[in-house]
Every structure is written in C-alpha cells, then in structure tokens.
Structure 1
Amino acid sequence: MSTIPYGRQHITQDDIDAVSAVLRSDFLTQGPVVPAFEQALAEHCQAKHAVAVSNATAALHLACRALQVGAGDLVWTSPITFVASANCALYCGADVDFVDIDPRTWNMDPLALASKLEQARDIGRLPKVVVVVHLCGQPCDMRAIGALSREYGFKVIEDASHAIGGRYLGEPIGNCRYSDITVFSFHPVKIITTGEGGAALTQDDVLADRLRLLRSHGITREASQMDNPPDGAWYYEQIDLGFNYRMTDIQAALGLSQARHLEQVVARRHQLAQRYDSLLADLPLQLSWQLPDTYSGLHLYVVLVDEKAARGRKEVFDGLRSDGILVNVHYIPVYRHPYYRQRFTFRPADFPHAENYYARAISLPMYPQLTHEQQDFICERLRSYLT
C-alpha cells in the first residue's frame, strides 16, 4: 500500500476548469472572482462581510489590526494551536498569554478563561482580544466565551482555520454571533482550498472597511475617505500603513469551485470519523469529546495515547510512520517554542492539560478520499502498537 498522508487536497475537473477560465480572462487578480468568492463565503456563514486574503495568518494579523491591537495591549489564545494564532498579536507589538485547554474538547476551557480573567482584573491587566481556536474543526464553547467578553470587555477573534462547514448551536461557524471576527484557512490540507488563502468574516461594517483597507496597502479610492479632492479618476491615497495581503482571482476561482461541495466534503469527513470511532473504541486511546449541539468541520482526527497502552506516543508515531502512515502531531504548545521561551517566562506547569495533550496526541489521516481499506490498515497497525 502506498503512503497515506494525514491530509491532502482533492482537485476535481470542475476546479481545474474554473481556474483555467480565469487564466484565459482579463483579470488574474483584483477582478470579479474574489468578490464572488467572498459573497459565497458570507452567504454560507450568514455573515454580512467576508474579506478574502492571501492566507489565514494574514487574516489573523488584519483582524488584530482592525481591532486596534497595539503596543502595550495583551492578547490571549490557546497554547494548542499553530503559532500564527499567537504571532498575529506580536506582529502588532502586543504581548501574548495563554489559557489552558479543556481536557475533553482540547479547546480553550471557558472555566480556565473565567478564572484567569478574574485574576487579571484584580491586577488591572485584562486582555484586549482573546483568540479562540476551533481545534480540529470543533467549535469552542462560544456562548460561554461570548458572555465573558461582555462581562470583561474584551474582543473575540475566532481562529476557525479548521472549521469551515461546521456549526455551533445549529448556526454556521463564521456568523460571528459570539465574536467580532472569524478567520478561515484555505491551505491545501484544509477542508476547502485556494492553494494558499484565508478570509476574515464579520458582521461589523466598520471592521469590514478596516480589513479591506489594510489588506491592500492602506490605499483608498473612496473620495469620502481622502484628505484632498481627487486630481482625477486615477487618484488614490494611502491613509494607513497596510499590507499586500490580497487574494488572486486564480485562487478565488479554485475556492469558489470547491465551496460548492463544502457540505458534502464535511459530511464525508464525519462518515470517516464515525468509522474511526467504531474501529478504535476498544483501544487504549482517548477520542475527542464533542460539545452538545455542535457539528465539527473535522479538519483533523486526533487521538490521545493512554498511559496503559503497550507503547508510548513516540513509539506509536514512529511505528506508524515506518508503515507509510504519515501521522502528525497538532500541535506543540506555542510557549514551548524557542522564540517564545527566550522572550517570555511561561511555565509549562501553568498549562497542565495542554502538556498532557501534547505528550499523547497523534493526528490520524483524515481527508475525503481516504478509503475504507486504507482506514482499516491504519487501525490494524495502530492496534498492533497499542496492545
């Protein structure tokens, strides 16, 4: 059997035709397809605005800038995430801290957040923004986090890079009911792809205008935003220090084509996850616990190796890799990375659930084209190492 990656893109002939049509058109970038993709995202997520950008890291950075995160501010996030969820605050000159995870869902724990907020209020050092991460595609307990944001006055960014196509309390992730901005990723291993790409969604007109301005150098062609009367139809002004974070029409065409199959893709992931759940039920593993009334995007399928297993996580990981099963680990706690260790004074003991998770986690292959034969092989080899 050939190697089995932990995730991979699926490109159809329709996707290829959509990209080819743009390549034959007059616009490779800044044309009509990016707005069409944005409209499709906004409609699916029931959001007023979707702003497509070059990648999800750019979307997180723009989200922080739009919320006016700057020097002296504090941003909290989950330690179990890709580094971009924290780096976006550092790009703005802010400080970063972490909130431990729930040992069942592996998302930010609202109880830990509430406790940390109470302590922060006592010392006068509350966060300006909390970046919650929907790990593996499962939504955080947003109703609880939203209530805390109103009580303590912080803004909320949902890092939903894993979660497009998921739902929380019957509503699509991305509608920002309990947050200010939601960010998606369209990297090739994600649920739908634009090659590289991301988006920021919001219900707030002012935030949407800020996101659009900052993604394109801080330049405007709107006369109402200018300091001076336009010299002519060619005239534009830079009114803020922005970035070149635009998405191309080539990327948007691929995303728009892929988005037409989003619900089927996520449904297939759920079928595979349910089959994993059944095949692995009797093994010394902890499987993810899902919050009631949620529907995960299921970007990842993570298991935790129990202490009573015949072999530890590293041996299991190495064994599966030697079998051609390209498992992975998502993620190393952000505070463990040298860049963070050298600049901050985080103590792993302050995040016991994140430490426990990292010591045991393995991401098994999860993508729609994974066959039952491949899944059976993965589970058989996993069983051989665990029992």
Structure 2
Amino acid sequence: MSIPVFRPSIKRKDMDSVLSCMVSDQLWPGQQNEELITALLELLDADGGAALREPVTAYKAVFHALSLEDRPKVALSVLSSVSLYRAICESGLEPVFLDVDQGSGLVEEQVLKDLSQDPSIGALIVNTPLGFVPSYEVLRDLSIPIIEDISQGIGGRYTDDVPVGGIGDFIMVGMEPEDVITAGGGMVVLSRDKKQTKALTDAVSDLPQELYLSDMSAALGRTQVKELKGFIEKRRELFETYIRASMRSHHSTLHQPGESLYVPYGFPVVVRGGMNEPIQYARKKGVETQPAYLHSIYQFLAEKEVLSEEEKEALPRKFPGASALQLSTLLFPLYPALTGKEFEIIQKVLVTLP
C-alpha cells in the first residue's frame, strides 16, 4: 500500500473523545463546538468565534461581517484555493489576484505594500501556503482589514512575541482532512476584538444549525489543538531530515524568508523539468505525491472556461512566480503519523528522484 500524501494525526485517545460525545447523544453543535472555539481563542489570544461546517460558508460570513459594499475588492494569492474564489464571487465581491515569490510561494512583499494605495481594496486574505509565514512588518503596516488563513501554518510564529494568527482582523482555521488540525472537515472563524466579534455574531446568526460544526467533529478538533505543539515538533524533525536528503538530489525546495518560524505542512520539491516522471517514479516506490498547489485559483483559471484563450496565454506573464511554482512543485508526505519504515522510504525517493 502506498504512503498517502496526507494522513490525519489521529490517536486512540482522540477517538475516545469522539466516542464519549457519541454516547452522550449530543451530536449537533453544542458544548464541544464551544470548547473547540475556546481552545483556539486561548491559543491565539482572539476575542470570539464560530465553528462552521465548510470553508466557503465561513468566508462568506467574514465578508458579511466586514461590510465590503463600498470597497468590494478582496485581494489574495493566485495560488490560494479555488474555494476562496467561489466564496468571493458568491458574496458579490471582486477578487484581485496577487503573484507570489518563486522561492517561498508567499505573496511578494512589494505587492502587499502597494495594496494600501488602492482605495477599492476592502480586505486582504493572507495565508500561510505550505506552512510558510509572510512578513510581519509588512502586514503590520497595512491599512486594510486582514483575513488571516492559518490552516496550513497554525503553530508558526511571525516573531517571538507574535504567533501566526496574531495579526488578522479575522482568523480562519481550516479543519479539513489535509489541514494541520483536522476535525474531518470544517473551519473555525475567530475575531480579533469585541467590535469584530459582534459583526461576526450578526453575520452567522441566521445560519441554519446544519451549517455549524457538529459536536462529534468539534471533539476531534479540540483534542488536536491540545496536541498541536507535539505535532509541530515532530513535523520539524522530519522536515530537517528531508532537507538533508533533498540536498543530495538535483532538485530544490522552498524556503522561509526572514526569521519567522514556519510550520512544515508537507515537503515541497521544486522539480527540474516536468512533474510526470517524478510522480510516476515515486509511485513505483510506494510514495504518493501531488502538485503542491492542486486546486489553486491559477490552475482553475488556466484550465476552466472562465477566461478567453488569449487571457489564458497571458497568465504566465501576469503571474510568473505562481506559474513557475504551479508547474514544478510536488508535495511529499510529511506528518507525525509516518512510521519509521515509511520515513526511510521517502528519504530514499527524495535522494534518487529523477
């Protein structure tokens, strides 16, 4: 059986919490939902929140809370998940796509600085792609609301004093199976202060019960929040060994700029040439890989019938950094649940990757 790209770090004691919830007959959103929110509020020093069943609903609630009617543009990385593009469009807003640095996958710092000069930008979605952390100094000086998506970077730090999740007006914590913390699905939205908490509460007040995260899912997520520090330490150990292995190959990887502390979400390999041969080679050796920016907005624009052929041909010129990474970056398995044998197999594949 092949080693999957993602495997949730769920332990038996995590399932005990879920089973306790099941036998209590309390499966709908209730106490466990609230305790998950509280655990994240304490971790990130935020004020309020809501745990919802899926990311698009969560983002639409935040857009509503920000009242973006007069400034209807939302800026975000063109390598962000296409689900964010959907949420923006369904909210009647206009996306503004930003290119990324080819060495890290983060939005270029000068591009971020220039956003403050555009009065039509109502919000910026800042993410932590593959666990890499953007510049705190640049974000701190922006004069527009920040939606901070830390689904792949929770546990990282901008500085010794500021955690990832410590700068946004609203903070998005994904709970999907491939996220650092999983509840089997869903997303928790956190608000920074009381004014934003009131706006968020108003935005979600009319949502039906089935759009909130169930207690059974929340129970799983809450136990994972408690184990986060250990998860991150294990990921860093694996990452450092992978780095040494990859240095013996003719491929490269991405790097965290500056002094921020990133979270090894997966292990990205920037391959020379096409990705098909390395994917097939790894699979023959029993290791599954996938494009690191699978289901990105850039991929969607390039493949679907939303742009003219002329506009599609212009994408690599308009977004050179994103285009290069979209076509050359593979993600290898990296998570605490890897066995020792699986870890050795992946190291060997990294060294010998064609």
Q: TM-score by structure 2 length?
A: 0.90
Change (3 A) 1:370 1:291: same
Q: Using a 3 Å threshold, how does the CA distance of structure 1 residues 193 and 374 change in structure 2: closer, same or farther?
A: same
Segments of 5+ residues of structure 1 without an aligned counterpart are 219-241
Deviations 1:177-223, CA, capped at 9 Å, x for gaps? 3x2111011112222211112111221223222323333425xxxxx
Aligned to 2:33: 34
- Of 163, 168, 176, the match for 1:172: 163
Secondary structure, counterpart of 2:106 in structure 1: coil
Q: Structure 1, residues 356-379: CA drift from partner, whole Å, max 9, x if none?
A: 111210000111121343233223
> Using the alignment, how far apart are the partners of 1:71 and 1:128 within structure 2?
8
How many Å apart are 1:339 and its aligned residue? 5.3
Instruction: List, as ranges, runs of 4+ consecutive aligned residues in structure 1 with deviation greater than 4 Å.
Output: 115-118, 342-346
Deviations 1:115-145 (A, max 9, x none): 4665xx4xxx631111112101222113303
Q: CA deviation at 1:110?
A: 1.5
CA deviation profile, 1:211-242 (whole Å, cap 9, x unmatched):
23333425xxxxxxxxxxxxxxxxxxxxxxx8
User: Is 1:143 paired with 2:137?
Assistant: yes
Structure-2 residue corresponding to 1:160: 150
Relative distance call for 1:344 and 1:60 in structure 2 (3 A) is farther
Structure 2: which amino acid aligns with 1:212?
T
Residue pair 2:112, 2:138 contacting (<8 A) in 1 also: no
CA distance in 1, matches of 2:334, 2:229: 16
| 1:298 counterpart = 2:267 | no
Give 1:50 shift: 3.0
Question: Is contact 1:286–1:304 with CA below 8 Å preserved after alignment?
Answer: yes
In structure 2, give the amino acid aligned to 1:204: D
Does the Cα contact within 8 Å between 1:191 and 1:297 map onto a contact in 2? no
SS of the equivalent of 2:268 reads strand
Q: Secondary structure at the match of 2:130?
A: helix
User: What's 1:247 paired with?
Assistant: 213
DSSP-derived class of the 1:158 partner: strand
Is the alpha carbon distance of 1:206 and 1:356 closer, same or farther for their aligned partners in structure 2, counting shifts above 3 Å?
same
- Alpha-carbon separation, structure 2, partners of 1:50 and 1:374: 38
| Mapped pair 1:287 → 2:268 | no
Matched, 1:374 2:337: no
Distance across 2 between alignment mates of 1:217 and 1:204: 21
Question: How much is the aligned-residue C-alpha RMSD, in angstroms?
Answer: 2.4
Correspondence 1:193-204 to 2 at 5 A: 193-204=182-193
Aligned letter for 2:181?
A: I
Q: Is the 8 A contact 1:99 1:112 kept in 2?
A: yes
Equivalent position of 2:14 in the other structure:
15
Q: Secondary structure of the residue that 1:114 maps to in structure 2?
A: helix
CA 336–30 in structure 1, closer or farther in 2 if over 3 Å, else same: closer
Cα distance in structure 1, aligned partners of 2:113 and 2:225: 36
> Within 1, Cα distance between the matches of 2:85 and 2:139?
18
Q: Is this contact kept in 2: 1:76–1:97, CA < 8 A? A: yes
> d(CA) in 1 for partners of 2:106 and 2:188?
21
AA aligned to 2:165 is G
CA spacing shift, 1:271–1:342, aligned 2, 3 Å? same
Q: Which residue of 2 aligns with 1:257?
A: 223
**For residue 322 of structure 1, what is the aligned residue in structure 2?**
284
**8 Å Cα contact 1:163/1:296 also seen in 2:** yes
Q: Give the equivalent residue in structure 2 for 1:129.
A: 123
* Whole-Å separation in 2 of the counterparts to 1:64 and 1:340: 23
Aligned equivalent of 2:202: 213
Q: Deviations over 1:275-317 (max 9, x none)?
A: 101111132222221133322232222110135xxxx322111
